[in-house]
C-alpha cells in the first residue's frame, strides 16, 4: 500500500475534486507505486499549475509505502482528553487519526 502525503503537514491526501482542489483523506491508499504516481500526475493536471510554480504538486506532495510512512514520516500532535479538565495528562496521537477516534473529541466519548 502507498500513500500520497503533503510533505509539510504529512496529511494523507485524497483525489482532486472537480475544481482541482485536493483535500486530506486518511482513507485513500494505492495498491502499487505506479498507481500512486498516476494519481499524483492526475493531481498535477487538475491543479493546472506550471511545473516551474513553487506550489506545483510534485514539490508539495510525496509518495511513501504505508509501513515506512507510519514509522518514519507521519507527524504526531499532543492533545488533551475532553474528560481531563485539569489538562494534566497529554495524549500523543497521529496527525491522520480520524476525529471520531480521538479522545479529544466529543464524538469519541458519546459512542
Q: What digits encode the pLDDT tens for the residues 36-53? A: 999 999 888 888 888 888
Max Cα separation, the chain? 50
The residue assigned the cell 500520497 is 4
Cβ atoms 1, 33 nearer than 8 A: no
Say what the pTM is: 0.76
- pLDDT 10s digits, 55-79: 888 899 999 999 988 888 888 888 8
Amino acid at each position: 500500500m502507498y500513500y500520497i502525503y503533503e510533505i509539510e503537514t504529512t496529511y494523507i491526501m485524497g483525489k482532486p475534486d472537480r475544481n482541482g482542489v485536493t483535500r486530506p483523506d486518511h482513507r485513500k491508499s494505492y495498491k502499487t507505486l505506479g498507481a500512486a504516481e498516476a494519481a499524483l500526475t492526475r493531481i498535477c493536471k487538475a491543479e493546472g499549475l506550471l511545473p516551474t510554480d513553487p506550489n506545483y504538486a510534485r514539490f508539495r506532495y510525496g509518495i511513501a509505502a504505508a509501513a515506512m510512512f507510519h514509522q518514519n514520516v507521519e507527524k504526531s500532535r499532543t492533545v488533551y482528553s475532553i474528560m481531563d479538565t485539569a489538562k494534566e495528562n497529554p495524549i500523543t496521537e497521529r496527525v491522520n487519526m480520524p476525529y471520531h477516534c480521538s479522545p479529544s473529541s466529543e464524538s469519541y466519548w458519546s459512542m
